[in-house]
């Protein structure tokens, strides 16, 4: 049975949110916030989930699993974090790019001691510069870790192994390169729906990086590319990412990456 979107308002009713807060509140909870598309005001009901985060006491555990429930036709995601856990995320660049904007834009539904209001202000005042050195190291590490993945892609292309090629492109190479670039450039992600576009925008929508990225993903082209074409584009994406990030990569990381760039060129000449 298909849900009728006309029954779902783009702004959540206060009474609905109040019922959710009452359901999720207990003695361990210090605050409850609404994040995501319903907090930003760009939800597309019923296809947007309601993102709720409980801020819990430090002793309650900061790694409780995220879960989903259905309430009044809405998919409600519930995650739990302590303030200490949230602050740790803001100190790790690979997590901060996904966390900062969500805290800045959050709608406070419950704030028992006003601590979240103060924490939100910290996020509003967030500065990327103190994390840049760690971001550079992280990006270089990610590129270095692609050694085995690049070799698998080259092997899959040589042997025309489409299953292996699809696997490594989808699960490893494209996501990892995207994140390495996003972290090094300090892209603060607004949502999962805008992540790739934001990274492409940072690289330049007409740049070689974005052209390779789009082709590797199989988007923004008149004719859907073959898996082989996407694989070659992903290899070129790796090369372009390495070129752009070279000034920021530590020497030990570059020493592992550089030979791959020549190997890719040699192998693609044969294609």
Specify whether 109 is located in the same domain as 137. Answer: no
DSSP letters spanning 48-96: S-EEEEEEE-GGG-S-PPPEEEEETTEEEEEEEE-HHHHHHHHHSHHHH
Mean per-residue pLDDT over the chain, rounded: 93
**Cβ proximity of 35 and 53 under 8 Å:** yes
28: CATH: 3.30.460.10
Specify whether 159 is located in the same domain as 180. Answer: yes
Specify whether 17 is located in the same domain as 112. Answer: yes
Paired with 78 in beta bridges are: 52, 67
d(CA 137, CA 120): 28
Specify whether 136 is located in the same domain as 122. Answer: no
Nearest residue to 181 (alpha-carbon basis) of 235, 138, 148, 133? 138
Which residues constitute the domain of residue 48? 5-126
- Per-residue pLDDT at 85 exceeds 70: yes
Report the residue count for the chain.
271
Least confidently predicted of 5-14, 178-187, 245-254: 5-14
Q: Which residues of 114-136 are buried (b: 16+ CB within 10 A; e: fewer)?
A: eebeebbeebeebeeeebbeebb
Specify whether 119 is located in the same domain as 194. Answer: no
Specify whether 149 is located in the same domain as 60. Answer: no
Sheet (strand 74-81) strand order = 67-71, 74-81, 50-56, 29-35, 107-111
Mean pLDDT value across residues 118-133: 97
pLDDT of residue 202: 98
Paired with 75 in beta bridges are: 70
Mean pLDDT value across residues 6-15: 79
- Picking from 126, 157, 179, the residue at the C-terminal end of a domain is 126
pLDDT of residue 269: 82
Domain count, the chain: 2
Least confidently predicted of 82-86, 160-164, 249-253: 82-86
pLDDT of residue 3: 47
Specify whether 254 is located in the same domain as 241. Answer: yes
- Per-residue pLDDT at 221 exceeds 80: no
Q: Who's near 230: CB < 8 A, 6+ residues apart?
A: 169, 215, 216, 217, 218
- Per-residue pLDDT at 6 exceeds 90: no
pLDDT of residue 224: 87
pLDDT of residue 185: 98
**Which helix (H) or strand (E) element contains residue 109?**
strand 107-111
Pair type for strands 50-56 and 74-81:
parallel
- Per-residue pLDDT at 181 exceeds 60: yes
pLDDT in tens, 38-54: 999 999 988 999 999 99
Specify whether 158 is located in the same domain as 225. Answer: yes
Least confidently predicted of 55-59, 100-104, 150-154: 55-59
**Cβ proximity of 66 and 90 under 8 Å:** no
Mean pLDDT value across residues 95-113: 97
- Per-residue pLDDT at 1 exceeds 70: no
pLDDT of residue 197: 96
Say which residue the tokens 């709720």 belong to.
52
pLDDT of residue 2: 41
- 3-state SS, 27-38, equals CCEEEEEEECHH
d(CA 186, CA 180): 10
Asked if residue 46 has a cis previous peptide bond (ω within 30° of 0), the answer is yes
DSSP state of 107: E
Specify whether 93 is located in the same domain as 135. Answer: no
Mean pLDDT value across residues 146-167: 96
């Amino acid at each position: 049975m298909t849900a009728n979107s006309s029954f779902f308002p783009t702004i959540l009713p206060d009474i609905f949110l109040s019922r959710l807060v009452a359901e999720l509140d207990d003695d361990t909870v210090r605050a409850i916030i609404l994040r995501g598309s319903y907090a930003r005001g760009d939800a597309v009901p019923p296809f947007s989930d309601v993102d709720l985060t409980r801020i819990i006491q430090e002793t309650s555990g900061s790694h409780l699993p995220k879960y989903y429930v259905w309430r009044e036709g809405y998919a409600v995601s519930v995650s739990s974090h302590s303030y200490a856990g949230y602050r740790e995320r803001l100190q790790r660049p690979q997590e901060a790019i996904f966390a900062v904007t969500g805290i800045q834009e959050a709608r406070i539904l419950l704030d028992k001691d006003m601590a979240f209001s103060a924490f939100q202000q910290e996020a509003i005042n967030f500065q990327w510069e103190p994390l840049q050195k760690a971001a550079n190291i992280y990006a270089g590490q990610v590129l270095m870790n692609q050694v085995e993945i690049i070799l698998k892609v080259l092997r899959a292309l040589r042997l025309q192994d489409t299953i292996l090629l699809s696997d490594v492109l989808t699960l490893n190479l494209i996501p990892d390169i995207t994140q390495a670039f996003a972290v090094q450039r300090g892209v603060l992600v607004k949502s999962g729906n805008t992540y790739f576009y934001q990274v492409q925008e940072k690289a330049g929508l007409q740049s070689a990086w974005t052209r390779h990225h789009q082709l590797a993903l199989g988007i923004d082209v008149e004719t859907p590319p073959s898996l082989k074409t996407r694989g070659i584009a992903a290899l070129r994406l790796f090369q372009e990412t390495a070129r752009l990030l070279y000034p920021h990569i530590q020497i030990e990381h570059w020493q592992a990456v550089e030979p791959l760039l020549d190997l890719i060129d040699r192998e693609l000449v044969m294609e």
